[in-house]
Structures are given as structure tokens and as C-alpha cells.
């Protein structure tokens, strides 16, 4: 077991655009970090090595977020290494875009499994294990308000996450654990930028009063706020989108 008095955070999807930014931001606040990944071990190991080089206690855990047995083992590994878990940030998810009328239902099922079942599995483990004074942070999307065409199935999956999260906050009454969602707006991650030309990106940038597209670091600041000082924010969805909606 690593000898550390730091608060411990497990971040799913920790090698993705937002997940990596969250990892780096929580490291600044002194957390010991578990970097979860689904398939790219090299990337996860590189993230852990970079953290350790800066003096942060870190480890990598792998697993399909929708597999309850695999994720239970991942949580076990984090507890064995660090002695417990204080914060769980669930950024892992996928996005398939299509008009509702023409969506391939296999894509819907795949998103349902990762985005809904995966969020539920991770939240279930977090609810059982996060220590007193901790936080559970899920990810929704501002598209639930923006109603962009082609995002119907994705918005539906994230709407389910919002509902689940707000219920869990009430179910953990008396445990001093906050449960919230972060709902990013347009954010410059590889997943979001894929398939968009410069004109589309310029239009999205102008839509927000701050007249830019968000960065992963913007979203990570919202997570750090909910993970640490925001003890009186509970059962909420925080829209981190520069005022676009």
C-alpha cells in the first residue's frame, strides 16, 4: 500500500481529453490519483509516469465501466493501493451522432451500455465505497438544453445520467457525500472536434457570451470545485458552458 495522507480520487476515462485535464487539475490539489482506462494501456501508463515525475502518487486501473465485476476489482485495487477512495469522477463515455430518424439502433445500444449502464455501475461502486466527506461527480452534457440536431441519442443517454445522479444524492443522506453532475458545453476535445470544419467551430464559439469554445481545463476547474470546496452543492447539475445555455 502506498503511504499517503492525500485524498484519493478515481477518474474514469482518465486518459481522454477531459479526463486527463481532470487528473492534472486534481494533482495540483494534492490528490493521489487512480487513472482508469478502457484499452490504451500505453497512454495510461504514460499519464501515471508523468504524475509520479511531479511527485503525485498515482496508479492505473483498467476495465469496462459497464462490467460490474471488472469495476469492483478496479475499486478494490485502488483501495488496496491507497487505503480508500474520497472522490470518484466518471468522465468515461462515448458519442454517436445521427438524426433520430436514421440512427443505427446498434449505436443506440452501445451508447446505452457505456453511457447509462457504465455510469450506473461506477456510481453503484462509488456509493458503497466513497469515504465520509467525499464526492461523486458524473458527466452530463449541455446538449440536454441546447437541443443540437444529431445529438438526440447522446442527449438521451446523458439525461438518464442526470436523473440517476440526482436520485443518488438523496439516497446518500447522512453520509456527508456530495453527488453532482458536470454538463460541459462545446469543449475542444478530440471527440468533439472530429468531423467539424472551422466554420462550424467559429459559429459555436460565437454562440457563447464569452465567444470561445471551452477547453478541457475549463471543465476540470468545475470538477475540482465540486470535488473539494463545494460542500454545500449537492444533487445538482453544473452547466460548464460559458453561458451558451
Other beta carbons within 10 angstroms of residue 173's beta carbon come to: 9
Question: What sign does the dihedral 167-171-173-176 (CA atoms) show?
Answer: negative
d(CA 75, CA 61): 9
| The pLDDT of residue 106 is above 60 | yes
| The pLDDT of residue 3 is above 60 | no
Q: Write down the pLDDT at residue 6.
A: 86
Alpha carbon 114 to chain centroid, angstroms? 12
What's the predicted TM-score (pTM) here?
Answer: 0.95
49 Cβ partners below 8 Å, 6+ apart?
Answer: none
CA atoms within 13 A on the CB side of 61: 25
Which DSSP helix (H) or strand (E) runs through 44? helix 41-53
Which of 42-56, 90-104, 191-205 has the weakest average pLDDT?
191-205
CATH T-level topology, domain 8-239: Rossmann fold (3.40.50)
| Strand bridging mode 8-12 / 85-90 | parallel
8-23 pLDDT, tens digit each: 999 999 998 999 999 9
Delimit the domains of the chain by residue range: 8-239
| The pLDDT of residue 202 is above 90 | no
d(CA 4, CA 114): 32
Catalytic residue list:
154
d(CA 129, CA 148): 37
Phi-psi region of 216 (alpha: psi -120 to 50; beta: other; left: phi over 0): alpha
Residue 47: closest CA among 55, 35, 57 = 35
Amino acid at each position: 500500500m502506498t503511504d499517503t495522507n492525500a485524498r484519493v480520487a478515481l477518474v474514469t476515462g482518465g486518459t481522454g481529453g477531459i479526463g486527463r485535464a481532470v487528473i492534472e487539475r486534481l494533482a495540483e490539489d494534492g490528490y493521489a490519483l487512480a487513472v482508469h482506462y478502457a484499452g490504451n494501456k500505453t497512454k495510461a501508463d504514460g499519464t501515471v509516469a508523468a504524475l509520479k515525475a511531479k511527485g503525485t502518487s498515482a496508479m492505473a486501473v483498467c476495465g469496462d465501466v459497464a462490467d460490474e465485476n471488472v469495476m469492483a476489482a478496479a475499486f478494490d485495487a485502488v483501495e488496496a493501493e491507497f487505503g480508500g477512495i474520497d472522490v470518484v469522477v466518471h468522465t468515461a463515455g462515448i458519442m454517436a451522432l445521427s438524426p433520430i430518424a436514421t440512427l443505427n439502433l446498434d449505436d443506440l445500444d452501445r451508447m446505452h451500455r457505456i453511457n447509462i449502464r457504465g455510469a450506473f455501475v461506477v456510481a453503484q461502486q462509488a456509493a458503497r465505497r466513497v469515504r465520509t466527506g467525499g464526492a461523486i461527480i458524473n458527466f452530463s452534457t449541455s446538449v440536454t438544453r441546447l437541443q443540437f440536431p444529431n445529438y438526440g441519442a447522446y442527449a438521451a443517454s446523458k439525461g438518464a445520467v442526470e436523473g440517476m445522479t440526482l436520485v443518488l444524492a438523496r439516497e446518500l443522506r447522512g453520509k456527508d457525500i456530495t453527488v453532482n453532475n458536470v454538463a460541459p458545453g462545446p469543449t475542444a476535445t478530440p471527440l468533439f472536434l472530429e468531423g467539424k470544419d472551422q466554420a462550424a467551430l467559429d459559429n459555436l464559439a460565437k454562440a457563447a457570451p464569452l465567444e470561445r469554445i471551452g477547453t478541457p481545463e475549463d471543465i476540470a476547474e468545475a470538477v475540482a470545485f465540486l470535488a473539494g470546496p463545494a460542500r454545500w452543492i449537492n444533487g445538482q447539475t453544473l452547466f460548464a458552458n460559458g453561458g451558451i445555455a
